[in-house]
Amino acid sequence: MSNLSLKLREYLNTHFVINAVEIHELQVSSDRTIKCAMRLHDGYVVESVLIPQGERMTACISSQVGCSLTCKFCATGKLKRMRNLNADEIVDQVKLVRDTAMERYGQPLSNIVYMGMGEPLLNYAEVVRSIEMISSPDGLGMSPRRITVSTAGVAKMIKKLADDNLRVNLALSLHAANDEKRNSIMPINETNTLENLADALNYFVDKTGVRPTFEYIAFKEFNDSIKDAMELVAFCKQVKSKVNIIEYNAIDDGEFQQTTKERLKAFTDTLEKNGVICNVRRSRGKDIDAACGQLANKNKLASQQLK
């Protein structure tokens, strides 16, 4: 900036730094989903995803480098958590995905989901600050109602999110509606039981008026029986909610399999007959490992840095 005085430029160089996020690599799926490997200033790589679907353009963004929660079905959970992302790094992801949407498809972003790498509620302050920046008229000017924060279930932070009244949507990665089964795939449930989560979610509903969404991956012969469906019905009766049934996307260990069409139909029929609002979400970007649970699965650069 040669129009600034030398003294001011020297002061800025001494006291300020801009650690910009850059797109390291783009992969485009056959269904038009785009996975963006984002390089951070310290060399770490996180992944963000652009999901185009009709008029909707959704950015799925990361909040941590790696993850500490070790959920058994998630590729990111097999990586170490190296650090939290700063708010500006989260916002940079959104801006870069937004620019990609305009360049590739000529459409602006319509929605943002904090469903990428990491647990957003374990990076609470920076996630909240990023939401404020994204939704501010002086920032990206997006409505909070178009932003969804997804959590594996940190009960006390769900209550804090309610108290802070950011007017965002909330999604809970549920995947099993009894404690024993959920403990076996999501160790966080050992300290955030379904009872504790129901209490926190009801607090969130009462404070905000926003009905949370339960994300439920259907694993073959693990959580896809009629009994499992009835347990989910019982949990849904405790909290005003809706359910997204998600296809399982395989990761390298092969421990779980996607359920069959027949078992999935019986499961969803049971939910609907018992008054549960549910939708089956078809996976996007599976061929480039950009689908739910696959982030960092085959990104060699990210995997090497996180070992």
Which residue among 36, 71, 278, 292 is the active-site one?
A: 292
Which residue among 36, 47, 215, 236 is the active-site one?
A: 47
Give tens-digit pLDDT for 250-285. 776 668 899 999 999 999 999 999 999 999 987 665
Domain boundaries, the chain: 20-306
Which of 132, 128, 117, 106 is CA-nearest to residue 38? 117
Our answer to whether residue 292 is catalytic in this structure is yes
Angle, CA 163 vertex, CA 159 and CA 168 arms, to 5°: 85
- DSSP-H helix ranges across 54-188: 87-105, 124-135, 155-164, 179-185
Which of 284, 283, 212, 205 is CA-nearest to residue 245? 283
Banded model confidence at residue 289, pLDDT cuts 50, 70, 90: low
Give tens-digit pLDDT for 176-221. 999 999 999 999 999 999 999 999 999 999 999 999 999 999 999 9
What are the strands, taking DSSP E only, across the chain? 22-28, 34-39, 45-53, 56-60, 64-65, 83-84, 111-114, 147-151, 169-173, 213-218, 242-247, 278-281
CB atoms within 10 A of CB 230: 14
Percent of the chain predicted with pLDDT > 90: 82
Cα 121 to the center of its chain, rounded Å: 11
pLDDT at 297: 43
pLDDT at 300: 44
Q: Kindly write down the DSSP assignment for every residue of 8-22, as one continuous string.
A: HHHHHHHH------E
Give tens-digit pLDDT for 75-94. 888 888 999 999 999 999 99
Q: Which residue has the tokens 């996020």?
A: 21
As a whole number of angstroms, the distance between CA 259 and CA 217 comes to 9
Give the C-alpha distances (Å, rounded to integers) separating 50 from 22, 56, 59, 108, 286: 15, 10, 5, 11, 13
Q: For residue 276, what are its two tokens?
A: 């549960």
Residue pair 84/121 in contact (Cβ under 8 Å)? The answer is no
Mean pLDDT of 26-36: 92
Cβ-Cβ contacts under 8 Å for 232 (sequence gap 6 or more)? 174, 177, 214, 216, 243, 271, 276
Our answer to whether residue 247 is catalytic in this structure is no
- Name the residue type at position 152: A
Give tens-digit pLDDT for 106-161. 999 999 999 999 999 999 999 999 999 999 999 999 999 999 999 999 999 999 99
> What topology is assigned to 20-306 in CATH?
TIM Barrel (3.20.20)
